[in-house]
Structure 1
Amino acid sequence: MAYDRAHWSRHYDDHRGFRPFRDSEKDLLVRHAPAPDGGRALELGCGTGELAVFLAEIGYTVDAVDFAEGALTRARKEHAGAERVRWLCLDIEHDDPAELSHDGYDLITLRLVFPFLHDRTRTLDTLAARLRPRGALVVITPVAETTPEERRHIALDEEEISLLVEGWSQVERFDSEGLAVLVLRHPAGDFTAVEKGRPEPQSVVGVCAVVTDGSGRVLLGRSTRGMWELTGVRAGSLRG
């Protein structure tokens, strides 16, 4: 299900929100991601700012990011007195991230956001590169097992969670009243897309297609060997 900035801004303009930020989540963050001296945090998909303000209260200087201006309008109004929080309108997948801290972050949070990302692998790779050496990336997400079928698009199943945590040397998982709280540290290296259960190719003839857009950009795909290649289509099996 696709959502754009206009959709999310209308969501917040209509005074709607999401699941409230609960004490069980706060306790887990305090215990497993405490703020170091001079700690800096990046919150992606900050919405109306509950988590961002809490992170500031426990000692972080926070960049609170959302791509919906409607969310930030409410956050600035509802938390007008908040200290050490900078509200930024930014799409982490598509916009220039020049406004973000060049010194990196001790904590990066994605609460109720990860299922909506279009390019999860690339986004994680980008965020991992912004972590300071002892930093943590925390993903808080509904899980499919406890989410009604009609809201499945807001949750992750176990296979998606397995893909999410691959490439991290230290992974901790906790439950917060039905939400999975994933604390990831020490990215092991470059992130690559991983395909589960992909069948072996049966064709002996392959066809490549060059796909471009109106600006002349070329569509590439990542192969199972981690190489960027032209997109291919299977010509059919020639086996008897």
Structure 2
Amino acid sequence: MGYVVREEWHEHYADGKDFRPLGDTERALLAEHAPVPDGGGRALDVGCGTGGLAVHLSSLGYVVDAVDFADSAIGRARAEHTDVEGVRWLRLDIERDDPVELHPDGYDLVTLRLAYPFLRDRSRVLHALGERLRRGGALVVITPTAELTSKERRSIALDEGEISLLTAGWEQAERLDADGLAVVVLRGPGHTVSAAVE
């Protein structure tokens, strides 16, 4: 089944399709709630698609690892952003592949924009990503909400119960709104990379 899903996403991007572009409110919320640490920071953009968010994060001063499991998405991102520095494009299935290519020292910011509802094992992936956060880092999930999404497209959104599950186990969880999208900022998982390094 996973292969079929990957093929569907590959075709989506190969056909020239994309998703909702990054909005101004999202940009403002990211700048306010996930600013680049003094001296620079490192970000991981999971499910990067054609790279709009990754490029924005690099423009803020982050060094970005942008990952997607669709070959065509990574191919388009590389082709469309050839002049962008500070982004490393990686074809990686965050649920199935060996994450050896991810930065061993962790990240100050991990983002999942319009990607979280598509994960098969959400809690496992979120826990694993939380462990990659540096001390003081944030994991940001940006997602459509079920109440503002048509029934036919319910699979792309989270309902309030799913958002509550998403925030469980974090020291800080803040729910914000960006033009109909929920922006959930999570901080302080039980184990972080920097805690393990120190």
Q: Same fold (TM over 0.5)?
A: yes
Mapping 1:7-22, distance limit 5 Å: 7-22=8-23
Which residue of the partner structure matches residue 135 of structure 1?
Answer: 137
**Structure 1 CA distance for aligned equivalents of residues 79 and 29 of structure 2:** 27
**Structure 2 CA distance for aligned equivalents of residues 138 and 83 of structure 1:** 23
Which residue of the partner structure matches residue 183 of structure 1?
Answer: 185
**Structure 1 CA distance for aligned equivalents of residues 87 and 95 of structure 2:** 22
Q: Deviations over 1:121-175 (max 9, x none)?
A: 1101100110001100000000000000100000000000000000001011110
The SS at the match of 1:55 is: helix
Which residue of the partner structure matches residue 195 of structure 2?
Answer: none
Corresponding letter in the other structure for 1:134:
G
Structure 1 stretches of 4+ with a deviation exceeding 4 A read none
Q: List runs of 5+ in structure 2 lacking aligned partners.
A: 193-198
- Give the percent of matched residue pairs that are identical in Structure 1 and Structure 2: 62
Q: List runs of 5+ in structure 1 lacking aligned partners.
A: 191-240
Q: Deviations over 1:54-101 (max 9, x none)?
A: 000001000000000100111011111001000000001000000000
**Structure 2 CA distance for aligned equivalents of residues 51 and 185 of structure 1:** 20
Structure 2 length-normalised TM: 0.93
**Structure 1 CA distance for aligned equivalents of residues 182 and 127 of structure 2:** 21
Specify which structure has the bigger relative contact order, considering alpha-carbon pairs within 8 angstroms and separated by 6 or more residues. Answer: 2
Which residue of the partner structure matches residue 120 of structure 2?
Answer: 118
**Structure 2 CA distance for aligned equivalents of residues 87 and 19 of structure 1:** 20
Mapping 1:31-70, distance limit 5 Å: 31-36=32-37, 37-70=39-72
**Structure 2 CA distance for aligned equivalents of residues 131 and 5 of structure 1:** 27
**RMSD between superposed Cα atoms in Å:** 1.4
Which structure features the higher share of helix residues?
2
Corresponding letter in the other structure for 1:41:
A
Check the 8 A contact 2:130/2:191 in 1, yes or no. Answer: no
Which residue of the partner structure matches residue 175 of structure 2?
Answer: 173
Check the 8 A contact 1:167/1:189 in 2, yes or no. Answer: no
The SS at the match of 1:48 is: coil
**Structure 2 CA distance for aligned equivalents of residues 138 and 179 of structure 1:** 12
CA apart distance, 1:189: 6.0
**Structure 1 CA distance for aligned equivalents of residues 80 and 43 of structure 2:** 20
Mapping 1:87-236, distance limit 5 Å: 87-188=89-190
Which residue of the partner structure matches residue 85 of structure 1?
Answer: 87
